[in-house]
Structure 1
Amino acid sequence: MGLGNSVRFFCQDETRIGLKTISGRKITLRGVKPYGQVQGKFKATYIYGVIEPKTGKHFFYKFTHLNSQCFQIFLELVSPKYPEDILIIQLDNGGFHKAKKLKIPQNIILMFQPSHSPETNPIEQVWQYLKRGLRWQLPANLDELRVLISQQLERMSNEVIASSAARAYILDALSVVEI
Structure 2
Amino acid sequence: MAIHLGSDYAILQIDQAPAYTSSAISWQEFIIPLFQPPSAPELNPIKRLWQALKKPLKNQLFSSLQALRERIQEIFDQLTFEQVISVCSYNFILEALFYAASH
What TM-score comes out, normalization by structure 2 length?
0.51
Structure-2 change in CA distance of 1:93 and 1:151 (3 Å): farther
Deviation at 1:142, TM superposition (A): 1.9
Aligned length: 82
The residue that corresponds to 1:170 in the other structure is 94
Say which structure, 1 or 2, has more relative contact order (CA 8 Å, 6+ apart): 1
Structure-2 change in CA distance of 1:140 and 1:125 (3 Å): same
Identity of aligned residues (%): 33
Structure-2 change in CA distance of 1:168 and 1:93 (3 Å): closer
Higher helix share: 2
The residue that corresponds to 1:4 in the other structure is 5
The answer to whether structure 1 residue 133 and structure 2 residue 53 are counterparts is no
Structure 1: distance between partners of 2:73 and 2:93: 31
Higher strand share: 1
Structure 2: distance between partners of 1:149 and 1:109: 35
Segments of structure 1 that go 5 or more residues without pairing to the other structure are 8-85, 100-107, 174-179
What TM-score comes out, normalization by structure 1 length?
0.33
Give the AA of the match of 2:81.
N
Deviations 1:127-171 (A, max 9, x none): 221101212322122222122112212222321122234355736
Q: How large is the RMSD of aligned CA atoms in angstroms?
A: 3.7
Segments of structure 2 that go 5 or more residues without pairing to the other structure are 21-30, 98-103
Q: 8 Å contact 1:113–1:120 — kept in the other structure?
A: yes
Structure 1: distance between partners of 2:87 and 2:64: 29
